[in-house]
Structure 1
Amino acid sequence: MNSRQQIILQMVIDQGRVSVVDLAKATGVSEVTIRQDLNVLEKQSYLRRAHGYAVPLDSEDVETRMMNNFALKRELAEFAASLVSNGETVFIENGSSNALLARTLAEQKEVTIVTVSSYIAHLLKETRCEVILLGGIYQKKSESMVGPLTRQYVQQVHFSKAFIGIDGWQPETGFTGRDMMRADVVNAVLEKGCETIVLTDSSKFGAVHPYTLGPLARFSRVITDDRLKEEHRTQLQRDGLQVDIVACPL
């Protein structure tokens, strides 16, 4: 690791998320050179790259994840927002696609958003949108509320639609999540029996994680992109879900 790469790594560790542009300015080299340095550092497992940024390996920052496949996630959010009417109260769970949906709704419609995501609540602070942030244990890395208190709050509020993120899906397991406490919150939402919509890019299909989200019959529809495998789409429809496909931006 040369001296410039050491500076880059230290900036990423200190700041958590640094753009290629800022790294180029700080080190006095071109953005092309910075990208080459980042490739080297990523291969050596010092950091990882995320659409024009460098982030620490353990970053779960919602904004960082939002920048991955941003154009696609924006299209998914636009489609999801079209399903919500003025005056509705909707639940929006944690995650980058859901954060974009919340911002899109706040910009376009008069709605009330119920969420467990402090990131989403902060994102909407300058909008006219009514926001209900449910309490609980603050999970710092995901910027989300979890735990038995959050489950109780979910039971006490009412909403007509719920938009949920997932970490995996396979025909044998249904929808799954990687975090036990966040999965418990999703399952509390599912128990309310409202229209529940999975909003996710197609990369999650075919993966499996430890914690079940379900049962599957409590989900209403899936919004994803056109990279979804045809056999996965067919199975989801066979299981009774409406599948909405959004074209990937070129």
Structure 2
Amino acid sequence: MNSRQQAILQMVIDKGQMSVAELAKITGVSEVTIRQDLNTLEKQSYLRRAHGYAVAPDSEDVETRMMTHYTLKRQLAEYAASLVNPYESVFIENGSSNALLARTLAEQKNVTIITVSSYIAHLLKETPCEVILLGGIYQKKSESMVGPLTRQFIQQVHFSKAFIGIDGWQPETGFTGRDMMRSDVVNAVLEKGSEAIVLTDSSKFGVVHPYTLGPAESFSRVITDSGLNARDRMYLENSGLNVNIV
């Protein structure tokens, strides 16, 4: 994917859909070139075409979400990786920021990565780090394992840190997820009592979803960006969480 195609994909993801004419005007190339770029991106499943428009695919797709605010998520991943020691065993949950963290760790340190994400496991197939992929029911959209078997596998492995993705947070609800099965996996991880770290961009704060991740005291740290407002940061810190702004 070249730099223009990356820019096109980012715009389509941010707006949901954009016309060929709009993309040609913004990028300064012909509509023929835009159509060629869109064909390339569609073949790689980054987006889909519809009647003269480029449309963002399902938001559950990990690779597509990784491209949204990629630079910021990479910075978050770099910071999170700095907290992990060589030869440590860590659990990395599903999600785009966590996928970048897994790749960063695999490139930098000799670690064991335990995950329920088949996407993360596949991402690390050419790296020297040890990867333990836990089994269960395969949730195809999220490329993640869920269900009672996954809960049992989590009970059988040990890790010192767990990096968790969230879908929402409000003072009244704490951390929340939008998917019941994946939220249950997170809660099984939290029951292990290891150091639980939320890794997320600030867009998730102020949003609420149906399923509780917690209780809040199960978490020890939040790694996010400067978009987190001062009031929410103070609330999190008063709740006993370390808040690291990248």
- Report the TM-score, using the length of structure 1 for normalisation: 0.79
Matched position secondary structure for 1:91: strand
Gaps of 5+ in 1: 1-19, 36-44
The within-5 A match list for 1:163-242 is: 163-242=163-242
Look up the SS of the partner of 2:32 in the other structure: coil
2:130 is matched by which residue type in structure 1?
Answer: E
Give me the whole-angstrom Cα distance separating, in 2, the residues matched to 1:68 and 1:217. Answer: 30
Query: In the alignment, is residue 55 of structure 1 matched against residue 88 of structure 2?
Result: no
Following superposition, the deviation at residue 122 of structure 1 comes to 0.1
1:33 positional shift: 11
CA distance in 2, matches of 1:124, 1:236: 33
Does the C-alpha gap of structure 1 residues 117 and 33 become closer, same or farther in structure 2, counting only changes over 3 Å? closer
> 3-state DSSP class of the match of 2:121?
helix
Q: How many residues are paired up?
A: 209
**Secondary structure of the structure 1 residue equivalent to 2:126:** coil
- AA matched with 1:55: A
Q: Distance in 1 between matches of 2:174 and 2:192?
A: 19
Q: State the Cα distance separating 1:55 from its structure 2 match.
A: 3.2
**Partner SS state of residue 192, structure 1:** coil
Residue 34 (structure 1) shift = 7.6
In 1: Cα distance, 2:112 partner to 2:182 partner? 22
Deviations 1:148-189 (A, max 9, x none): 000010011000000000000000000000000000000000
Residue 60 of structure 1, CA deviation: 1.8
CA shift at 1:64, angstroms? 0.5
Q: Distance in 1 between matches of 2:32 and 2:230?
A: 46
Counting only pairs closer than 5 Å after superposition, residues 1-250 of structure 1 correspond to structure 2 as 29-31=32-34, 54-56=55-57, 58-246=58-246
- 1:30 alignment partner, SS class: helix
Aligned-pair distance for 1:82?
0.1
Paired with 2:87 and 2:178, the residues of 1 have a C-alpha distance of: 33
Which letter does structure 1 place at the counterpart of 2:162?
A
Residue identity opposite 2:33 in structure 1: S
Structure 2 CA distance for aligned equivalents of residues 202 and 59 of structure 1: 17
Distance 1:111 1:91, change over 3 A: same
Aligned-pair CA distance for 1:220: 0.4
Across the aligned residues of Structure 1 and Structure 2, the Cα RMSD in angstroms comes to: 2.4
TM-fit CA distance, 1:29:
1.2
State the alpha-carbon separation in 2 of the partners of residues 54 and 129 from structure 1. Answer: 36
Which digits, 9 at most, give the CA deviation of each residue in 1:85-120, with x for residues without a partner? 001000000000000000000000000000000000
Aligned to 1:131, the other structure's residue is in SS state: strand
* Cα deviations by residue, 1:33-78 (Å, 9 ceiling, x for unpaired): 989xxxxxxxxx959x9xxx8533x352100000000000000000
Aligned residues with identical type, % of pairs: 76
Q: Within 2, Cα distance between the matches of 1:33 and 1:141?
A: 27
Q: TM-score, normalised by structure 2?
A: 0.80
How many angstroms does 1:30 deviate by?
A: 3.4
